[in-house]
Amino acid sequence: MQKNIMPAIIIAALVISSCNNKDSEMTKTAYTWADSIAPPVAEKKAKELIAHGDTRIDNYYWMNDYFKKGPDSTKVVDYLKAENAYYDTMMSGTKTLQENLYTEMKARIKEKDESVPTFKNGYFYYSRVVEGKDYFVYCRKKGNLQAAEEVLLDVNAMAEGHNYFSATGFDVSMDNKLLAYGIDMLSRRQYDIYIKNLETGEIYKDKIPNTEGGPVWANDNLTLFYTSKNAVTLLSEKIKRHKLGTDAATDKTVYEEKDPTNYIGVSKTKSDKFILIGSGATLSSEYRYIDANKPEDAFKIFQPRMKEVLYDVDHANDKFYIRTNLQAKNFKVMTCDEMKTDSASWATLIAHNDKVLIQGFDLFKNYMAISERKDGLTQIHILNTKDNSSHYLSFDEAAYAANIAYIPDYNTDVMRYNYTSLTTPNSVYDYNMVTKEKKLMKQQEVIGRFKPADYETERVMATAKDGTKIPISIVYKKGFKKDGNAPLMLYGYGSYGASMEASFSSVRLSLLDRGFGYAIAHIRGGQEMGRSWYEDGKMNKKINTFTDFIDCAEFLLAGKYTSKEHLYTSGGSAGGLLMGAVVNMRPDLWHGVIAGVPFVDVLTTMSDPSIPLTTNEYDEWGNPANKENYMYMKSYSPYDNVTKQAYPNMLVTTGLHDSQVQYFEPAKWVAKLREMKTDKNKLLLYTNMEAGHGGASGRFKALRDRAREYAFLFALEGITK
């Protein structure tokens, strides 16, 4: 879940210490908080929540009313505004620091930049950004890169007058004349689809509301398939077919998902020969397909859903290629004929390996590029589909991420991949699968004095309480001393099988250059060490995620990378759940916590199918209708486990329009923490009243969020510049 006060905080002039880094030598100064200012106190209105004979009292359930348009809607907004005013007052002494951080972060970004072009159907497609602008300009050139530029969409112009704006899901018709795309202006991930004539510039009247935003053209250049959402639950509910020039209200439903636990979507194969409809949840999936040249045909089932079997499909060379965990926990790759797609007709192409997770693949006319993960690190496997010969690309750093970059050109022998590490900016390579030669096409340019050699990385293993070895990736600036005096940020996520890569961030330099270390805990619930890593961190094994993270923190403390007085932690969304759980379990470990759009009221949310995404996630967290699942979720749900104890300093952020983790979860959590906590540490809630789950739109607006978070850390650490 796949948020009237006296002014003036002042900075006191008390010198405490200096940072470890000689290049960024600075004075630490005690920060004086406005502790005489009382925080908002939320009204308590007890509501009984009863299930399985168990009664929970939720004193802040009324905060759901803005979402449900209930009688307390105005009161909810008033409370969030009061929290924002309290936040502004408490952080007012950091305004200059926040502005300096924003300027510093922005200064590292190359403001005028351009992506590496990709070739498709006679055109080179690319995006560029203009100096001083927040959004992309999407362009193409016909035939070669010396041709005249054709602007498809200038999102800067489109976004004018909007507080939030997102354009996504671009698809060009096979005759290269029409562009379909999705627009979200509220940050609820509800996209309206528009169609633009690329020859005349006309925007057609064919507006299609409330979609996932990923339209797919059939090969007739007249028919568009898209995913329609339920307006309340925001679930992807139907696949519809739209005919150019017709009213969207008359669009035909070609598939309706009856099971609310499944996600659905529509796509096209790499070969452009088939349209696919995918339906899947955490444990199982199913596909349907039609010939892209015959959009009026009925979709045929590729292979009926099998219990606890996942598969996905692509097509090349008159064959379907299938990645599946059928009798293969870490997945294998199989093929089948176009006319015989049932699983009995699948033949193994790449066998299962219990030490190697197959994450995905990209198809070309003569080759397949396979994304794999071994020992926690990504690797790229190249297979010649004509003679079955294969080889691997090699990477030298101890901790890195190398991922296949999808390119639409099916006929090429050149695959593209992205490479990055904690000290290497994102680099785009083209790799010739015939000659085995690679070419650096572009590396993220970091403006200023950044030099990779000024920083060091480590990859270490912490031991969990059950003996499992947990990888940790660490980066810091040279001169960092392991004497327990350095500040360190520990980041974690650990859900949905999402692997947290050891990747570069120019924004993170603002931490490292001020003496911070930065560590990523690759805890269970992710998929870094294979499919079992994920399965051992979800459902009724979810506690492993939290205890792994605590054990990683203990490892770093024992190694004197930091101390409890200087250890900070952060996580967002499901990573915010992690934050909520570990501050309940071990509040003594952390000096400060940043919880972004945190999923903290697990039990109540998962008990309400009207809340977006709830039913899709029963296989991730459990279904509270099952008593065993209910009691297990209750045992760790952060909101339900807030108790009378001392909590660390905390900054909690949310967005009023968040569709993934509703604003009321963090708001209620903060209210309950204020009621229960026994300490005098800082507890701040900041709500972006215009944004949703992804935060602010635009490449520069998002930097304001990071500057806000870093200023909170620096205030706690006594760093004023």
> Which of 215-224, 229-238, 355-364, 457-466 is the least confident region?
229-238
Q: CA-based angle 134:136:137, to the nearest 5?
A: 130
Rounded to whole angstroms, how far apart are CA atoms 50 and 317? 57
- pLDDT value for 67: 63
Q: Are residues 497 and 363 part of one domain?
A: no
Rounded to whole angstroms, how far apart are CA atoms 44 and 676? 13
In a domain, 211, yes or no: no
Q: Which domain holds residue 381?
A: 355-444
- What does the mean pLDDT of the chain come to? 92
Angle subtended by helix axes 574-585 and 543-558, to nearest 10: 70
Rounded to whole angstroms, how far apart are CA atoms 284 and 310? 5
- Catalogue the active-site residues: 573, 658, 693
pLDDT at 696 > cutoff 70: no
Picking from 401, 418, 444, the residue at the C-terminal end of a domain is 444
C-alpha closest to that of 356 among 489, 556, 117, 532: 532
Rounded to whole angstroms, how far apart are CA atoms 184 and 165? 6
Find the mean pLDDT for residues 610-634: 92
Residues 6+ apart with CB under 8 A from 181: 153, 167, 168, 169, 170, 171, 193, 194, 196, 213, 215
The per-residue DSSP string of 118-173 comes to EEETTEEEEEEE-TT-SSEEEEEEESSTTSPEEEEEEHHHHHTT-SS-EEEEEEE-
- pLDDT value for 658: 61
pLDDT at 287 > cutoff 60: yes
In a domain, 309, yes or no: no
Q: Where are the beta strands (DSSP E) in 450-539?
A: 455-463, 469-477, 488-491, 517-521
In a domain, 470, yes or no: yes
Find the mean pLDDT for residues 357-377: 96
Q: Are residues 494 and 430 part of one domain?
A: no
Q: Are residues 503 and 421 part of one domain?
A: no
Domain count, the chain: 2
Residue 239 near residue 253, CB atoms below 8 Å = yes
* CATH number for position 25: 3.40.50.1820
Find the mean pLDDT for residues 372-385: 96
Rounded to whole angstroms, how far apart are CA atoms 568 and 545? 18
C-alpha closest to that of 376 among 499, 253, 513: 499
Residue 654 near residue 685, CB atoms below 8 Å = yes
pLDDT in tens, 8-48: 222 222 222 333 333 444 567 888 898 889 999 999 999 99
Picking from 410, 425, 444, the residue at the C-terminal end of a domain is 444
Q: Are residues 707 and 565 part of one domain?
A: yes
Q: Are residues 468 and 436 part of one domain?
A: no
Residue type, position 683, single letter:
L
Q: Are residues 641 and 563 part of one domain?
A: yes
